[in-house]
Amino acid sequence: MRPAPALSSLCLAASLTLAGCHSGTERHHAPPPKAPTRQPPLRSQVAPGRDAAGAYPVGIYGATSTRDFAAVRAAGFNLVVGPAETAFLDEAHAAGLRVLATPRTTAGPRFNAAAARSAVRQFDAHPALWAWYVSDEPDLNRVPPSAVAAAHRLLKQQRARKPTALVLSQGYTALHYAGLTDLTMVDRYPIPWLPLANFGQHVEMARLALGPGPPLFAVIQAFDWTPFKHLLRDDTPLRPPTDAEMRCMTYEALARGATGLFYYRFESGWNTPAPTGTWAALRAIVREVRAREPLFQAEPLWWPREHAFDNPALRFNAALQSSITSTRLRVRRGNAEVPPGDYVLAVNNTTNHHAYWFKLPPPAAPEPQKPKGEVGRPRQDSPSASEPGDVAVPVLGEHRAMVTVQGWVRDFFDPYAVHVYGPLP
């Protein structure tokens, strides 16, 4: 989780990024017939994963001073990372925050069983304690899965009711660490020295290793590598992520299967009367997540994805996956911003401009009853369910709609742009 130990994992990721695989059930097409010319859009015990009010989990590292709790909560965060200490937990509870806390030790050769038992006895029932942080980047720090499993087992033998959590630095190592703790997190900090595509690739690998059910939290970069330049041994000019990059990674996390978000990290001095820079951008992103909370809590659905790019040469990103991540989401309980229904989320994870097509998913409707005498073949005069008539598809929050052409939606994407289409007809 800390930038300091992330060197070996990120260096390894740089070599592995180009070997990424293209996953998902989909068909690439040559672009369909051109649509009528349109102008590009204007730029314009609580269950794990939810707080006591059922809110979507959005946490932040670095809020180590209780003086910052009010600002963190006002920004829309409901989770912080900190110590298992009475004063810290009490102040967090008063501010409406919950805490991912270490049990005063960490999995590995120096694991202190007595300290862990004491922490569980003293704080497991505290209302502010969200989860026990038993291991930070064990894959990077060469902590074997057996040691993580032993730490988890000891806390459960102590009758800890709160979930245990670990953070991985490589998504694919979830193959070895999946299921060892109740919650899994993965942190990727690629900006600007790796392609942003590296982030989504590793979130997806962790999800594939975990399977569809267990909670998965993506930890998103909100810091500048410059103070840690010596760790990277890289000549790339360093900087914090831009507003668009942080927003893109936020939606990439959702599209790749994350069920909660953390950001690394809150910096002392950010809490000012007129916040600027990274903190101002992060607050705006979290406000958007809160406004669209039903979308972030939506159910991902399989769909027979068919998509295409006007420029096929740009269809793959640096990880050799689709330059636009698209997924179908079902919102069962909406709000004023996100009505119930099905949506397609599409995220441009590259620095390229794209004209992108996708075919509308078939309507989610029950199979019609066959008339007597039918043997299963469709009538020749009936329209195909996969070729709906032209319809208008709203673009969430953008005050516009896209009219389909033979069942296809075509839209323009600036670098790192995010578009949400729906509710689908």
257 and 353 inside one domain: no
372 domain residue, yes or no: no
324 and 236 inside one domain: no
**Strands 354-359 and 305-309, sheet pairing:** antiparallel
Q: How confident is the model at residue 146 (pLDDT cuts 50, 70, 90)?
A: very high
374 domain residue, yes or no: no
In angstroms, the Cα distances linking 385 to 154, 196, 378, 407 are: 55, 37, 10, 10
Per the structure, the complete domain to which residue 204 belongs is given by 58-296
187 and 124 inside one domain: yes
Residue-level pLDDT at 341: 97
268 domain residue, yes or no: yes
Residue 411, SS3? strand
Question: Which of 244, 278, 296 corresponds to the end of one domain?
Answer: 296
For the chain, what percent of residues have pLDDT higher than 70? 80
DSSP, res 377: P
Residue-level pLDDT at 421: 98
Task: Determine the average pLDDT of the residues in 115-128.
Answer: 98
Better-predicted residue by pLDDT, 54 or 287:
287
51 domain residue, yes or no: no
Residue 327, SS3? strand
Identify the CATH number of the domain in which residue 89 sits: 3.20.20.80
349 and 417 inside one domain: yes
Encoding tokens for residue 155? 């806390």
Domain count, the chain: 2
274 and 392 inside one domain: no
207 domain residue, yes or no: yes
Q: How confident is the model at residue 267 (pLDDT cuts 50, 70, 90)?
A: confident
pLDDT in tens, 175-201: 999 999 999 999 999 999 999 999 999
373 domain residue, yes or no: no
215 and 332 inside one domain: no
Residue-level pLDDT at 235: 85
Residue-level pLDDT at 6: 40
Task: Determine the average pLDDT of the residues in 326-335.
Answer: 98
Q: How confident is the model at residue 369 (pLDDT cuts 50, 70, 90)?
A: low
Average pLDDT value for the chain? 86
Residue-level pLDDT at 228: 84
112 and 249 inside one domain: yes
Please say whether the beta carbons of 79 and 58 come within 8 A.
yes
303 and 292 inside one domain: no
Question: Which of 261, 296, 331 corresponds to the end of one domain?
Answer: 296
Does the structure show a pLDDT above 70 at 250? yes
52 domain residue, yes or no: no
Residue-level pLDDT at 50: 53
pLDDT in tens, 83-110: 999 999 999 999 999 999 999 999 999 9
pLDDT in tens, 35-45: 434 333 332 24
Does the structure show a pLDDT above 80 at 131? yes
Question: Which of 296, 320, 342 corresponds to the end of one domain?
Answer: 296
Better-predicted residue by pLDDT, 276 or 152:
152
363 and 333 inside one domain: yes
Encoding tokens for residue 375? 């043997």
C-alpha dihedral (401, 407, 410, 411), degrees to nearest 10: 30
304 domain residue, yes or no: yes
| Cα 72 from Cα 79, distance rounded (Å) | 9
Task: Determine the average pLDDT of the residues in 188-217.
Answer: 97
Task: Determine the average pLDDT of the residues in 221-235.
Answer: 87
Q: How many CB atoms lie within 10 A of CB 389?
A: 9
For the chain, what percent of residues have pLDDT higher than 90? 75
Please say whether the beta carbons of 341 and 421 come within 8 A.
no
268 and 281 inside one domain: yes
pTM of the model: 0.85
Task: Determine the average pLDDT of the residues in 165-176.
Answer: 97
161 and 244 inside one domain: yes
Residue-level pLDDT at 330: 98
11 and 109 inside one domain: no
Residue-level pLDDT at 278: 94
Q: How confident is the model at residue 3 (pLDDT cuts 50, 70, 90)?
A: low
Task: Determine the average pLDDT of the residues in 48-62.
Answer: 77
Does the structure show a pLDDT above 80 at 406? yes
Please say whether the beta carbons of 26 and 307 come within 8 A.
yes
163: enclosing H helix or E strand: none
